[in-house]
Structure 1
Amino acid sequence: MNHSALTPVFTALRVGLHALVLGLACYVLVRACISVASTGRWVPEGVVIGVCVLFVATYAAAGPLRSRRRGTFRLLWLAALTVEWVVLAALTPDATFLVFPLFFLALHLLPVPWSVVAVGVLTLVAILLFGWHSGWTAGGILGPLIGAAVAVAIGLGYRALFREAQERERLIRDLMETREQLAASERQAGTLGERERLARELHDTVAQGLSSIQLLLHAAERSTTDPAALDALRLARETAATDLAETRRFIRELSPPALDERSLPAALARLAEQTTRASGVRVSVRVSGEPTPLPMPVETALLRAAQGSLANVVQHACAASAGLTLSYMEDAVTLDVVDDGHGFDTGGSEDGAGHPGSFGLRAMRERAAALGGEVVIESAPGRGTAVAVTLPIGGAS
Structure 2
Amino acid sequence: MTDTDVARTPWKPGRATFDDWGPWALLGVGVLTSAGSAAVVGMTRTEIWVALALVVVAVVLEAVRARRKPGWPPRGRANACHYLLRWALAFVLTWLNPFFAFYAVAGYYTAGRLPRRLVLPGLCLTAITMAGSEIGGMPPRGLVLWCGFVVVLAANVGLVGVFTRFAEQEQLRAVEQDATIAELERTNTALQQALDENAALQAQLLVQAREAGVADERRRLAAEIHDTLAQGLTGIIAQLQVVANAPDLDIARTHLERAATLARHSLGEARRSVHNLAPVALTDTGLPEALRRTVAEWGERTGVRADFTVTGTAEQLHDEVSATLLRIAQESLSNTARHARATRVGVTLSFMGDEVSLDTRDDGTGFDPVAVPARTRAGGFGLDGMRARAERIAGSLTVESEPGGGTAVSARVPLVRHDG
Q: TM-score, normalised by structure 1?
A: 0.40
> Which has the greater radius of gyration?
2
Q: TM-score, normalised by structure 2?
A: 0.38
